[in-house]
């Protein structure tokens, strides 16, 4: 999966607000949403995707969704599903809205969509330094199945990706 995150783990964060999470909407990402998606992408990642990548994913028919609450776009997910396998390519929450349960809700949503599309398992990559995302994935049963060496750009070099997998059935 995607790129670097800037935020270090904060062990003093408050518990997720379940009321906020229950008011969420998941909508298909449209080309018109890409500007707002990019604003979040640039803040959330040190090495963001380009606008063109999001447009290509939408046009290619990947599952691309935005997470909306009261007209505010809080995050988004991009996932490819092929031959019974779902590959989560991007999952991101606006840094200002992180730590409130939205990331977990978004991942749950992607897993539900993967199941509905007939995927038997979901795969994703995560930076070795991205401890927050790793904690989220581990908490819902993803397990490490490999490492892709030098997968991500990094300051002054490259960073490895951990490949994670979860059965959907």
Q: Which residues bind ligand COA (CB under 6 A)?
A: 1-2, 5, 9-10, 13, 16, 44, 91-93, 98-104, 126, 130, 132-133, 135-136, 139
CA quadruple 40, 42, 48, 52: dihedral, nearest 10: 80
CB of 53 to ligand COA, least distance (A): 14
* Residue among 117, 107, 123 at smallest CA distance from 84: 117
Residue showing the smallest CB distance to ligand COA in the complex? 103
Question: Beta partners for 167?
Answer: 121
Quote the CA–CA distance of 99 and 75 in Å, as a whole number: 12
CB of 136 to ligand COA, least distance (A): 4
CB of 124 to ligand COA, least distance (A): 6
Residue 141 near residue 166 (C-beta atoms within 8 A): yes
* Residue among 169, 111, 97, 98 at smallest CA distance from 139: 111
Of 1 and 119, which has the nearer Cβ to ligand COA? Answer: 1
The answer to whether 125 is a known catalytic residue is yes
Of 63 and 130, which has the nearer Cβ to ligand COA? Answer: 130
Q: Active-site residue numbers?
A: 125, 137
């Amino acid at each position: 999966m995607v790129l670097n995150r800037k935020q270090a783990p904060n062990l003093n964060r408050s518990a997720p607000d379940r009321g906020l999470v229950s008011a969420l909407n998941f909508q298909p990402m449209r080309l018109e949403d890409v500007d707002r998606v990019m604003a979040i992408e640039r803040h959330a990642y040190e090495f963001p995707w380009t606008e063109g990548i999001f447009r290509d994913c939408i046009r290619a028919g990947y599952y691309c969704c935005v997470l909306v609450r009261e007209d505010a776009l809080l995050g988004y997910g991009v996932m490819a599903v092929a031959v019974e396998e779902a590959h989560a390519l991007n999952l991101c929450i606006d840094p200002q809205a992180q730590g409130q349960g939205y990331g977990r809700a978004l991942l749950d949503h992607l897993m539900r969509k993967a199941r509905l599309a007939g995927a038997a398992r979901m795969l994703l990559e995560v930076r070795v330094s991205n401890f927050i995302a790793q904690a989220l994935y581990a908490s819902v049963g993803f397990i490490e199945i490999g490492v892709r060496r030098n997968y991500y750009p990094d300051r002054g070099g490259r960073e490895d990706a951990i490949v994670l997998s979860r059965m959907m059935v």
